[in-house]
Structure 1
Amino acid sequence: MNTSELSSVLGRLAVGALRFAATDARERADLARRTALATVAVAAPWAEAAVAIKRAVPGSGSALAEELATGPMGTARLCLLTARAQLDIAERGLPRAPSAPRILHAGRRSVGGTPPALVGLDLLPARGPAGTLHDGMIHQGFRATVRCHDPGGLANFDQAWRREVEERPRAGGVAVVLGAGNVTGLSAADVLAQIFEHGRGVFLKVHPLHAPLQPLLEAALGPVVEAGLVVIAVGGADVARSAIAAPETTHVHVTGGEATYRAIVWGSADPADRSAAPLLSKPITCELGNVTPWFILPGRYSPAELSYQADLVAASIANNTSFNCIATKGIVTCRSWPQREDFLALVERRLASLPARPGWYPGSVRDWEAATGRVAPADGTVPSSLVTGVDPATDDRLLAREWFVPVVAEVPLDADDLAGFCGRALAFSHRLPGSLAASVTIPNGLSAVDLRHVEQFVDHLAFGVVAVNTWSALAYALGNVPWGGFPGGTLASPKSGIGFVHDPLLLPLVHNSVIRAPLSAAIRPPWFPWHRSGARLARGVVDLYGRCAAGKSGLGTMLAMLPAVLRG
């Protein structure tokens, strides 16, 4: 694409954004609903193409389940949530959350930079344009709360929210979105956020790994492509540079590594070679990854609870070969916790039971060897590796950067009691690069005093999402939990990123979100790599979302999935 062609394409996107700004909320809702239908229509070939890109064994149930869930399923759900929010705006001027906004922690003293008071809204169960999405069954026992800065009371919050709803979708302009190469649904979600949450036309430059997906993404996003709001291009860094530099471009959004971000903003991926002033003169938002911790709070866990939480941790490492920005990279335990060795043995046993996957992501075999100090298997796989007893004071190699490989450090902290561990763990969290997400496992049966320490710990973790008793990736899967680094990232120090995506409710002043799940469950989550019916259940949920988008009942689909759910 030469300069003249690129200018013409970007100009058409700017015109499309102007047309979008002139539409009303019902028209936007219909556009989002039709995009959900288009996504569901190509779900099978999308997932199959993704499995091929990742060099998984054809017909692999776990790989297919992952690709269905993180690609078309997540995209369709985000479209449905967006459609519902826009219909609510048409009917009452604001999106409708499952709970009314409420003041959290009234009168609380600020600790560690956290505002003294926050406004909270619950996000589950969410609804689609025609009603239920069956969250009560699919996400049974889950809670999700987004926490926003308090602008001086609920009346002021309402006014700030109404301003966002009125102004953001009409902002206009053209965003260049640089797609990530690790998860196929990320680019689609970023495109939808730029359109429906910011009113921009989008020039999407897909990652070279995803070139085979271009026609499928164009079909999945067909309604917004036809509306003149999206152009999808394949190419390398030269295409990205030209699009970013074009005068028609008004915004840049990147999901990827910090090296890519530095090259765009400062002119070099090497911090030592960066320019004195940023070269990028346009606003940028980004999501840049994380050294993701999972804190295991000391206490007494039943065998079922310990096993279930160990399985969650193992699944968070094995999923997508750990090529996720929120794959667990550090398991933080209390050295004196009596069940520590049992827990780590359960994690290691589960990881050892899974076949090693190919190192399909560029540079992953080299990085695996650097992280482990071993020679990678000759078949090109990258086995999971848990390194226990790591002391970050003497060896922080595995924690000083995000290793995009399935290698995890266990860090035992010294503490005499739960309160002491919470204090040490909070201080340790501040040393980790990134601020995207963290998980915390909390035992049942705590005293009121211990529970207060635990809640203060959760409250003050400086991450965009804090997940209690579950993997933080579930927050991304929900679609309406704002996703991004903890506020405070700057051009010079972006941490895990600047700004949020996945905000169909168009919320103001987002601080972070907390999701909570039961400590154990009798039914195995379908995203566990060892689930025997994961692919079947993922297909079922995609079909369910298609029926919801078409205004049909999904109850029959839910009932048809029950045998697979119970089979586990």
Structure 2
Amino acid sequence: MTSAATAKKAAPAASALDDTERGRLDAAIRDLQAGSRTWAALSVAQRATLLRAVRTSTAANVEDWALVAAESKGLNAAHPLRGEEWLSGPYSVLGALDAYIDTLTKLAEGRGALDGIRLGRAPGGRVAVDAFPLTGMDRFLLQGFTGQVWLEPGITPNAARRDAGLGQLSPGENGGVGLVLGAGNITSIPVLDVLYELLAHNRVALLKVNPTQDALVPVYERAFAPLIEPGFLRIVKGGPAAGAYLTGHDHLVHVHITGSAATFDAIVWGPGANGKRRRRENRPQLKKPITAELGGVSPIIVVPGQWSDADITFQAEHIATMRLQNCGHNCIAGQVVLMSADWPQKEQFRAALRRAYAAAPDRPIWYPNSDARMSQAAGDYPDALQLADRLLIEIDGDDDPTALENTEYFAPVLGVEELPGLGQDFLDGAVAHANEKLQGTLGANVIIDPATEKSLGSGFGRAIAALHYGSIAVNTWTAFGFITPTMTWGAFPGNTIQDVGSGLGVVHNALLLDGVERSVVRGPFRPFPRSLPFVNGGGRVTILPKPPWFVSARTAATVSEGLTRFRANGGIGTLVKTLLAALRA
């Protein structure tokens, strides 16, 4: 997210705030300072009880949450994609609360956060935590989907178990008051970031919502009243001037931001020429620690194999989803398809991808400045295929892929590049290309059929280990890792404030793991019933004919709402109706 096209407006001077606004923000911080002392006095068991109250109030507001979010994005009650706002909003937060409650309950009972959770080995001798599925319901509903968190090389299993728990291993420590600058695109992100501040770092939080989510503030205030009333959370609105004032506030000890690298640099170094000079001189204007999730250009590596017509159609729709969910306004949206120039089925797959990309439901391009980014993409690639509200860029021999590979368009823009080779040669080349050519290290997707993966043997695992991204998805989308609370979310380790890339640190991480390197999620290559072993000759079994997050799923809105209501309130009737709808997807 380093291009000018993705840069949000630099923050003006804090002096743009009037006395009333500064007083409002200062009062919120004073409330939180008192709340931080109360938080430090709570035992882990009391915190688990508090989270149960938060869960109850969140469950009571799921409908308002989803409807307000959908309306703010131009999705009316009949729109087929309105289910996105159920899954990416309240469903995600309820899942996180359940997972945190489980972790805190273990710790309160004197057990370890990883008690009952298997630790395995990943390539390079890394510890791999089997972080999903952990419940019987997840094993049933999401059969075929799994997730591991890989820890940094050198961490032993004993150290992993000992250190899991982070701030809840020393709950009496007062972490002070942190600032969360909320994301503007996905409604669960600000809340998930607040929970991580509280539980991983013992920091109470001042959440400044992005102006795109101002309409949700009343819903947030109702859902998270149990955190607001004792002073553990304050939610404020405001533009860049409020953000600038808060990031420089002496009584805030930490900043977390979800946004762009340009905004990050304006916070850390300052805007304009003065900021550039400070960066050259390594004199940051920000005097407190900062963590960040900043997006990037995500690859979709398509490993060639012998695919059926149904495989090609399904995976083309899968890729269209990776780009078009939330109209492409996602930090984790797939942007560059890397496929083999030597694959005999490449033209068939290209044609299927064009059809799937064109056939997805129309929707408003709603995120601020997206029109400008679309125009930039069209200017970068005037021969791109214009499909109503979206662009498909197919890089040919004479085209320069640099702009596509280094500009996070944050809009419905998908590119396709070809690389030489088949089998392991192609996969290794695609991994190297993604690592070296594409901007950022947040997430990467790999699609590979079971027979081809089997033929690669240990070479496939080595290739995944060589793919330096914080979240990797094999035969699913990295958004599955985002929505799974026991997985981690953040850039691959190694960035600095001088070269921030896709960000610093991780969030989500409901197992409260220390020393995280990446998360790896896996899904079935084929949907039900073609996922059955006697149909496809191998691979992962799933009960889903089509995942509800697919933009092509006919019953996605009904299924997403049903899953959220079931997560909120249970009820076998709700679950049965939802599963029947899923079978018609």
Is 2:242 aligned against 1:239? yes
Is 2:79 aligned against 1:60? yes
Give the match's secondary structure for 1:511: strand
Q: Hey, what's the Cα distance between the residues in 1 that align with 2:320 and 2:116?
A: 32
Q: Is this contact kept in 2: 1:97–1:121, CA < 8 A?
A: no
Aligned twin of 2:40:
21
Which residue of 263, 267, 270 maps to 2:266?
Answer: 263
TM-score (norm 2): 0.88
Task: Identify if the C-alpha distance between structure 1 residues 152 and 194 changes in structure 2 by more than 3 Å, giving closer, same or farther.
Answer: closer
Aligned twin of 1:467:
473
Which residue of 97, 101, 109 maps to 2:119?
Answer: 101
Which residue of 482, 490, 495 maps to 2:488?
Answer: 482
Aligned twin of 1:544:
566
Q: Is this contact kept in 1: 2:152–2:516, CA < 8 A?
A: yes
Q: Hey, what's the Cα distance between the residues in 1 that align with 2:22 and 2:109?
A: 44
Which residue of 510, 530, 554 maps to 1:532?
Answer: 554
Per-residue deviation at 1:197?
Answer: 2.0
Which residue of 58, 77, 94 maps to 1:39?
Answer: 58
Aligned twin of 2:338:
332
Q: Is this contact kept in 1: 2:35–2:231, CA < 8 A?
A: yes
Farther-moved stretch of structure 1 (261-270 vs 240-249): 261-270
Q: Hey, what's the Cα distance between the residues in 1 that align with 2:381 and 2:342?
A: 34
Aligned twin of 2:163:
160
Aligned twin of 1:207:
210
Q: Hey, what's the Cα distance between the residues in 1 that align with 2:218 and 2:505?
A: 29
Per-residue deviation at 1:494?
Answer: 1.2
Task: Identify if the C-alpha distance between structure 1 residues 353 and 4 changes in structure 2 by more than 3 Å, giving closer, same or farther.
Answer: closer
In the alignment, structure 2 segments of 5+ residues that lack a partner are 1-19, 529-544
Q: Hey, what's the Cα distance between the residues in 2 that align with 1:499 and 1:30?
A: 28
Is 2:124 aligned against 1:121? no
In the alignment, structure 1 segments of 5+ residues that lack a partner are 106-115, 548-552
Per-residue deviation at 1:155?
Answer: 2.4
Q: Hey, what's the Cα distance between the residues in 1 that align with 2:499 and 2:482?
A: 23
Per-residue deviation at 1:389?
Answer: 3.0
Task: Identify if the C-alpha distance between structure 1 residues 160 and 95 changes in structure 2 by more than 3 Å, giving closer, same or farther.
Answer: closer
Q: Is this contact kept in 2: 1:382–1:405, CA < 8 A?
A: no
Give the match's secondary structure for 1:144: strand
Task: Identify if the C-alpha distance between structure 1 residues 563 and 360 changes in structure 2 by more than 3 Å, giving closer, same or farther.
Answer: same
Aligned twin of 2:31:
12
Q: Hey, what's the Cα distance between the residues in 2 that align with 1:470 and 1:386?
A: 21
Aligned twin of 1:550:
none
Task: Identify if the C-alpha distance between structure 1 residues 215 and 90 changes in structure 2 by more than 3 Å, giving closer, same or farther.
Answer: same
Per-residue deviation at 1:535?
Answer: 2.0
TM-score (norm 1): 0.90
Aligned twin of 2:5:
none
Q: Hey, what's the Cα distance between the residues in 2 that align with 1:350 and 1:364?
A: 22
Task: Identify if the C-alpha distance between structure 1 residues 121 and 160 changes in structure 2 by more than 3 Å, giving closer, same or farther.
Answer: same
Q: Is this contact kept in 2: 1:368–1:382, CA < 8 A?
A: no
Which residue of 80, 98, 103 maps to 1:85?
Answer: 103
Q: Hey, what's the Cα distance between the residues in 2 that align with 1:34 and 1:50?
A: 23
Task: Identify if the C-alpha distance between structure 1 residues 98 and 372 changes in structure 2 by more than 3 Å, giving closer, same or farther.
Answer: farther
Aligned twin of 1:491:
497
Q: Is this contact kept in 2: 1:258–1:288, CA < 8 A?
A: yes
Is 2:233 aligned against 1:230? yes
Task: Identify if the C-alpha distance between structure 1 residues 186 and 391 changes in structure 2 by more than 3 Å, giving closer, same or farther.
Answer: farther
How many residues are treated as equivalent by the alignment?
542
Per-residue deviation at 1:99?
Answer: 3.0
Task: Identify if the C-alpha distance between structure 1 residues 414 and 184 changes in structure 2 by more than 3 Å, giving closer, same or farther.
Answer: same
**Deviation sequence 1:126-180 (CA, Å, 0-9, x none):** 34xxxx5x10122111110001125453223333336654137845211111111
Per-residue deviation at 1:39?
Answer: 1.5
Which residue of 174, 177, 180 maps to 1:177?
Answer: 180
Per-residue deviation at 1:564?
Answer: 0.5
Is 2:402 aligned against 1:384? no
Which residue of 346, 355, 358 maps to 1:349?
Answer: 355
Task: Identify if the C-alpha distance between structure 1 residues 318 and 157 changes in structure 2 by more than 3 Å, giving closer, same or farther.
Answer: closer
For 1:313-462, list aligned pairs within 5 A.
Answer: 313-373=319-379, 383-390=389-396, 394-415=400-421, 417-430=422-435, 431-446=437-452, 450-462=456-468
Per-residue deviation at 1:559?
Answer: 2.0
Q: Is this contact kept in 1: 2:491–2:502, CA < 8 A?
A: yes
Q: Is this contact kept in 1: 2:193–2:507, CA < 8 A?
A: yes
One-letter amino acid of the counterpart of residue 125, structure 1: P
Q: Is this contact kept in 1: 2:205–2:233, CA < 8 A?
A: yes
Aligned twin of 1:519:
525
One-letter amino acid of the counterpart of residue 153, structure 1: T
Per-residue deviation at 1:468?
Answer: 0.2
